[in-house]
Amino acid sequence: MHSTLPLHYSYHLIKIFLVAIVFVAPKMNIFGLSVAQESFTNSTCVDIEREALLSFKQGLRDPSGRLSFWTGTNCCQWSGIKCNMLGNVIKVDLRSRSPSATYRSSCLGGEVNSSLLNLKHLSYLDLSLNCFEGLRIPEFFGELKNLRYLNLSSSSFSGEIPPHLGNLSSLHYLDLEMKDDDTTTITFRLLSSNLTWLSGLISIKYLNMGNTNLGGQGPELFRSVNMLPVLEELHLHSCDLYYLPRSLSTVNMTLLSVLDLSDNQIQSSIPNWISNLTSLTELDLSNDYFNLNGNIPRECEDKASKEDLDPQLYYGIAGWIPESLGSLCGLKVLNLTGNLMTGEIDGFLDKFTTVCPNNSLVALGLGGNQFSGELPSSLGKLKYLKQLHIGQNCFWGSIPRTIGNLLFLQELDVSLNEMNGTIPKSLGKLSRVTDLKLENNHWQGVITEDHLMNLEKLQYLSLSTDRARPLVFNVTPQWNPPFRLLSLELYNCIVGPKLPEWIRVQSKLNVVILQNAGIEDTVPEDWFFNISSQVTLLDLSYNMIMGKLPLKLKFPELGTIDLRNNRFEGPVPLCFTNATYMFLQQNLFSGPIPNDISELTELRILDVSKNYLTGMIPSAVCEMASLDILSLRENQFHGQLPQCWNDLQRITVLDIASNNLSGEIPSSLGLLQVLRILSLSNNSLSGQIPSSFQNCTDLKILDLGNNKLSGNLPLWIGNDSTQFWILGLKSNKLNGTIPRQWCNLSDLHILDLAENSLSGSIPSCLGDLSSLIYSKTDLNNKYSVEDSYYFQEQMLMVTKGRVMEFSKTLKFVNIINLSSNILTGEIPHGITNLTALGTLNISGNYLTGNIPNEIGNMRWLETLDFSINKLSGPIPQSLSLLESLSYFNVSYNNLVGRIPQGNQLQTLTDVSIYEGNPSLCGKPLLSKCPGSDIGSDVPISQSPDYDSETELENLLFYCCGFVFGISGVWCTLWKKDTWREAYFSFFNLA
């Protein structure tokens, strides 16, 4: 149900809009009309032609009996048939009229009988919207010499288009587009492997081969098409063209008005010859960047990495908009959406508005590219513009004041840019605007009534800016705006402290997002009543809204509710009866979980973490059978966990950490087949780790730390069927040895066994933990798999802007922590094989022997703690090779000799990290080594401490990429959450 997510929703709208502009109203009538006009219903049918029609009918499958009325002698009166004065059939129109859900059962299928050849005067043949289920287009169509109109679109023909069609020299109109419609499950595609036949269609005005597989023959195609002297419309949507010819010797297509090359993954830049198509009114070179390309990362600052975009993943037209396009004065629609175009747009726009002062451009789609620069004020000269879509680029600066001249503007999308200036008041003149998308920029200034004054038609408003510098709405408290919105999405826009009147009067809202809006009010109950019956998404997160939710209210349509980080109080609300996602974390909700919660049967995510909920966890929780993610973390639940977990068969994440739970871990948790993350840490759970967990073969993260668990470390954890990435068992009462079987955990990245009573030696086979061994090829493979998921998910995450930067900081977090146990023996040399390890902590044990000389191989080490052991011998000089080392401690051992110098070690000047080793000498200690001692004591500031925030983010992203490979949506929400929280706490500090 991710269609309830705001951005997806909006982008869907854009897509529909652009598609609508370009495809609606193909000028079918213009091309076909002449035929219809000369028909005579009163004429009498020629016998041989009636027979031909009956044979034709016989070949057809006609489940709904549409042709059952083809009876009687005068075929000129049969439905779909038209004759000329002499009784010759001139028109056969069997287009299926109702492309609805039921049309699959009423469409014609079967065979196309060659008896049609007996219709010697046939000039119009329409078999569109039928279902021939993969039938080849008959070759004999090429012999219907009088044909002027042929429409086979969306009737599931497939295979090679017979080149015989090239004999139809009278044809004006040819439509072969096989559209994917929702009712077709199998996609039938036509194909043409040699396009020479096209040049025979010398009378063609309208040609549509949409969805035909042309296998990269872009150049060949245009060489043939260039022979068609009267062509007016060329529709080649989704034809796998890939390339356009760089040049055409002479451009013949001077009548061409519509050129639709959308979704062809074209990789050439825009060739100059396009500027010679002097009759062009519509040029569509867009790609559906939401569905096809995934999400092309915007590379606004980092110019170098632009070339790094993997051509397998990201394709599209590169380069600038040629200025010469600006001489196409007839242009009404220019759609370049979803490409890789760069540079500024003012060259083109200045030329267009200068050369064509009377232009009538109605739609300009430049979204989803890498365009940059300030928006030129010449935009204001596109007087008839209705749609301006320039979202998801790298534009900066302010919206030019001249925007107020676009009095016909209906849709303005500047979202997802780097706009760091102001929104002009002239925006308030745009009385026809219905959609304003301004979110994900760095806006400055204030929004006043003037900005919104005359926007009588406004239905969709979205606006956001940086959290650190919110936009302030400065409007008079009683202002009643002229619009009634369907969707209001404000992030980091201060409208509070009270919910203002201008929002309270919005009674038609379906989507409400007032995130971090500075509202410090009690629940605005009247407004809730106004919107409750139709609202589908309600996000009031990151405010200080107080009080209880109106419990009497029902929100029957509400799918997503996000109230996190507020001061809502009272019991867990149950008024969102059909909700799919409920985010209630970080509020003041209290009391026990009501038993009625079991009625929330649609719920997939419930997060009530960080509240004040009490009591036992009721078994009613297990009746929410759709649950995918349940977080009850950081509340005050006590007592035993219920036993009923096996009812939650869809659950992937269960987090009940940081409560006061006691008793044993229920073995029924082991029946959750798709469980991936289980956290029960920070409770008082006792007993052993249930062996039933070995059935959770998807379990990747198990965190049971800070409990009272006892017994040995289970051997089954090392079974081949497990896939643990993270094992958190610290601070329990576990004893025995670390099983050698665990060395098989080939996906393990974090092993935390600290603060237990583990004894024996560290198995040297730990050095075989393969995911902790740096190998460039592995890493690259994992990255690329992950990236593709990641970028798709970002599309849903972009509500907050700076998300892209996260993908770059993504790296593995690799930790082994065995500290504070009673381990003995030597540090196994094998452990130095773990070249990808970031943290190694074995402090507080009874380890003896030397620090392995090969320690310098572990070059990703950031944290190394050997303190409080019985290690002896020197500190190996190879330590100085650890360039990332930022925390190092060997205190309280029996180490001897000179402290190694060089590189990162130089920055670790805190003497305490060496103390308790009386025989160590050299800098930074005061005790000089026997022999030389060089250099002065220049104080070097300590390098920053372990950045726990960054690590947390990385960890979560890392987990998401893998754990949620499939259920990406949940991951997205989860990531968004964490990211938001991280960002928010940062802001609080600032």
Ligand X SMILES: *[C@@H]1O[C@H](CO)[C@@H](O)[C@H](O)[C@H]1NC(C)=O
Report the interface residues with ligand X, using CB under 6 A.
194, 196, 226-227, 229, 249-250, 252
Contact 513, 490 (CB under 8 A): yes
Shorter beta-carbon distance to ligand X: residue 164 or 383: 164
Q: Please state the closest distance from residue 975 (CB atom) to ligand X, in A.
A: 50
Shorter beta-carbon distance to ligand X: residue 227 or 329: 227
Total H helices, total E strands in the chain: 13, 55
* DSSP H helices in 467-524: 501-504
Shorter beta-carbon distance to ligand X: residue 231 or 433: 231
Q: Which two tokens stand for residue 246?
A: 């760089």
Q: Report in angstroms the alpha-carbon separations of 515 from 414, 678, 989.
A: 20, 30, 19
Sort strands 460-464 and 435-438 into parallel, antiparallel or unpaired: parallel
Shorter beta-carbon distance to ligand X: residue 19 or 227: 227
State the helix-helix crossing angle for 776-797 and 968-989, rounded to 10 degrees: 80
Q: Please state the closest distance from residue 789 (CB atom) to ligand X, in A.
A: 40
Shorter beta-carbon distance to ligand X: residue 71 or 249: 249
Return d(Cα 365, Cα 561) in angstroms, integer.
33
Q: Please state the closest distance from residue 195 (CB atom) to ligand X, in A.
A: 8
Query: What spatial distance separates the first Cα and last Cα of the chain, rounded to whole Å?
Result: 37
Instruction: Sheet with 588-591: list strands edge to edge.
Output: 546-548, 567-570, 588-591, 612-613
Q: Please state the closest distance from residue 695 (CB atom) to ligand X, in A.
A: 59
Backbone angles phi, psi at 202, to 5 degrees: -75, -15
* Angle at CA of residue 468, ends 462 and 473, nearest 5°: 45
Q: Which two tokens stand for residue 659?
A: 């409560």
Residue 665, sorted as left (phi over 0), alpha (psi -120 to 50) or beta, turns out to be beta
Return d(Cα 399, Cα 378) in angstroms, integer.
11
Q: Please state the closest distance from residue 227 (CB atom) to ligand X, in A.
A: 5
Instruction: Sheet with 471-474: list strands edge to edge.
Output: 446-448, 471-474, 493-494
CA 282 to chain CA centroid, nearest Å: 29
Return d(Cα 763, Cα 802) in angstroms, integer.
44
Q: Please state the closest distance from residue 137 (CB atom) to ligand X, in A.
A: 17
Q: Please state the closest distance from residue 237 (CB atom) to ligand X, in A.
A: 24
Q: Please state the closest distance from residue 224 (CB atom) to ligand X, in A.
A: 9
Contact 628, 970 (CB under 8 A): yes
Shorter beta-carbon distance to ligand X: residue 200 or 573: 200
Shorter beta-carbon distance to ligand X: residue 170 or 640: 170
DSSP character string of 440-466:
SS---SEEEHHHHTT-TT--EEEEE--
Q: Please state the closest distance from residue 168 (CB atom) to ligand X, in A.
A: 16
Question: Which residue reads 């993908």 in tokens?
Answer: 807
Question: Which residue reads 């006590």 in tokens?
Answer: 638
DSSP conformational letter for 623: G
Q: Please state the closest distance from residue 626 (CB atom) to ligand X, in A.
A: 56
Shorter beta-carbon distance to ligand X: residue 229 or 687: 229
Shorter beta-carbon distance to ligand X: residue 213 or 507: 213
Three-state DSSP at 917 gives coil
Backbone angles phi, psi at 437, to 5 degrees: -115, 105
- Within a 10 A sphere around the Cβ of 947, how many other Cβ atoms? 12
Sort strands 887-889 and 394-396 into parallel, antiparallel or unpaired: unpaired
Q: Please state the closest distance from residue 277 (CB atom) to ligand X, in A.
A: 14
Shorter beta-carbon distance to ligand X: residue 58 or 196: 196
CA atoms lying within 13 Å on the CB side of residue 326:
20
Q: Please state the closest distance from residue 206 (CB atom) to ligand X, in A.
A: 17
Return d(Cα 178, Cα 259) in angstroms, integer.
18
Return d(Cα 230, Cα 660) in angstroms, integer.
80
Shorter beta-carbon distance to ligand X: residue 73 or 196: 196
Shorter beta-carbon distance to ligand X: residue 231 or 960: 231
Contact 652, 675 (CB under 8 A): yes
Shorter beta-carbon distance to ligand X: residue 248 or 908: 248
Dihedral sign, Cα of residue 788, residue 791, residue 796, residue 797: positive
Q: Please state the closest distance from residue 193 (CB atom) to ligand X, in A.
A: 8
Q: Please state the closest distance from residue 258 (CB atom) to ligand X, in A.
A: 19
Burial of 476 (0-12, 13-18, 19+ CB in 10 A): exposed
Shorter beta-carbon distance to ligand X: residue 250 or 480: 250
Shorter beta-carbon distance to ligand X: residue 253 or 831: 253
Shorter beta-carbon distance to ligand X: residue 80 or 163: 163
Q: Please state the closest distance from residue 271 (CB atom) to ligand X, in A.
A: 14
Shorter beta-carbon distance to ligand X: residue 229 or 918: 229
Contact 27, 233 (CB under 8 A): yes
Return d(Cα 849, Cα 746) in angstroms, integer.
28
Q: Please state the closest distance from residue 226 (CB atom) to ligand X, in A.
A: 4
Contact 716, 722 (CB under 8 A): yes
Q: Which two tokens stand for residue 511?
A: 């989507």
Contact 90, 123 (CB under 8 A): yes
**Residues with Cβ < 8 Å from 831, sequence gap 6 or more?**
762, 764, 766, 767, 816, 840, 852
Q: Please state the closest distance from residue 222 (CB atom) to ligand X, in A.
A: 9
Of 755, 714, 792, 756, which is closest to residue 961 (Cα–Cα)? 792
Shorter beta-carbon distance to ligand X: residue 250 or 936: 250
Give the largest Cα separation in the chain, rounded.
Answer: 122
Q: Please state the closest distance from residue 199 (CB atom) to ligand X, in A.
A: 8
